[in-house]
Amino acid sequence: MITTRAAFGLAVLDNKLYAAGGHKSPDRLDSVEVFSPTTNKWTECKPMMKIRNYVVLVAFERHLYAFGGSNGHLSSPVLIHDDFERYDPSSDTWTLISGLPSPRMCIGATAINDEIILIGGYDGKIVMDDVDHYDPKTNTWRKGTASNTTRRQNGRILAVTNHNLMQ
């Protein structure tokens, strides 16, 4: 990577690996980089519209979605985001989208069955058991059945096999 970072979002889109946000102490980041296996090089993309530490990044139908995150570190007062951003790699542009069901960071997320599912997270006070389904085509949310345990997904992978979500 061009920038050393921790607590960043990572996703694969069109055979390229994207890294977004996170922190490089003491700085919190809005920067985005993409790795192309064809050229074996990292290049910078347009930064996100907001600093997003502990962000989750999800690829869905030719776009990237950066959900939640914070503008700081847990040891200091922070703003935990209640919004998200959509990235269009064809135009190298980010669009800010409001309406995340609740402010949170450290979210688990994946795309499955034409929607993006967010699981758990941390709202600055409690670790959450929320499960929320986002439909990018209609920009709408629906509440899912709560997880049987609270989850703070930092660095955790959610996978889909045979249309089932694995945690």
- Give the pLDDT band of residue 72 (cuts 50, 70, 90): confident
Average pLDDT over residues 127-144: 94
In total, how many domains does the chain have?
Answer: 1
Q: What is the rounded CA–CA span in Å between residue 109 and residue 116?
A: 7
Residue 45 included in any domain: yes
Burial class for 83, CB neighbours closer than 10 Å (0-12, 13-18, 19+): middle
Query: What CATH number did the domain enclosing 146 receive?
Result: 2.120.10.80
Q: What is the rounded CA–CA span in Å between residue 148 and residue 29?
A: 33
Nearest CA among 135, 95, 144 for reference residue 115: 135
pLDDT at position 165 over 70 = no
Kindly report whether the global pTM for this prediction surpasses the value 0.75: yes
Q: In this predicted structure, what is the pLDDT of residue 154?
A: 52
Q: In this predicted structure, what is the pLDDT of residue 99?
A: 86
Give Cα 135 distance to the centre of its chain.
Answer: 15
Residue 1 included in any domain: no
- Give the pLDDT band of residue 157 (cuts 50, 70, 90): very low
How many C-beta neighbours within 10 Å does residue 29 have? 23
Structural domain of 42: 9-166
Residue 3 included in any domain: no
Q: In this predicted structure, what is the pLDDT of residue 98?
A: 82
- Give the pLDDT band of residue 145 (cuts 50, 70, 90): confident
Residues 6 or more apart whose Cβ sits within 8 Å of residue 56: 9, 66, 67, 68, 69, 106, 107, 108, 109, 118, 153
Q: In this predicted structure, what is the pLDDT of residue 153?
A: 58
Residue 96 included in any domain: yes
Residue 92 included in any domain: yes
How many C-beta neighbours within 10 Å does residue 118 have? 29
Average pLDDT over residues 10-26: 95
Residue 2 included in any domain: no
Residue 4 included in any domain: no
Residue 128 included in any domain: yes
